Amino acid sequence: MRALSFAALIALVLDQASKYLVVHSMGLAFRHQIDVLPPLLTFRYGENRGINFGLFEGETEAARWALIGFSLVVVAAVLFWVRRSHPTNLPILIGAGLLIGGAMGNVIDRLAYGYVLDFLNMSCCGIQNPFVFNVADIFIFLGAGALILFESRKPDGKKGS
């Protein structure tokens, strides 16, 4: 479980550090947009009161606390599942840690600000992406992907049936 704890801590620290650096130190909250490698990478200020890409967005305190509660239930469920079913599977432990660290990064934002700070915007090939996301979202997706990929494999590396 050390791998899970370490992955979660790394994901959480990188998420919170990136938000502090970009949103506060670089002044994105006031500038609203910083072109880094346009159009591929732009920092664009966003306040997400929903889940990824603003789905289930709600302006109320009840919605905020419901999303915090939902995130904590997911974290607890992943921890329970990993401890019960995969306590020594390193890829699963790392994936679970990334997912948990990312989820907790967004929970900290909801507790501190009432919303999740988003700032990454990527567009390419003439397609303008209207959505913003953050480093926690990257870790959540990587972690979930690892859980899906490695859950379907037997310990010897062969795909399960």
Torsion of CA 136, 33, 53, 99, to 10 degrees: -10
Which position among 15, 35, 118, 156 bears the catalytic label? 118
Residue 137 bears catalytic tag: yes
Residue 118 bears catalytic tag: yes
Which position among 15, 35, 137, 156 bears the catalytic label? 137
What are the residues whose beta carbons fall under 8 Å from the beta carbon of 67, sequence distance 6 or more?
Answer: 50, 51, 56, 58, 110
Q: Count of residues for the chain?
A: 161
pLDDT profile of the chain (161 residues), mean per 10: 96 98 94 92 91 62 90 96 93 97 97 95 88 95 95 59 45
The pTM of this model reads 0.87
Instruction: Say whether the peptide bond before residue 87 is cis (omega within 30 degrees of 0).
Output: no
> How many Cα neighbours within 13 Å face the side chain of 51?
11
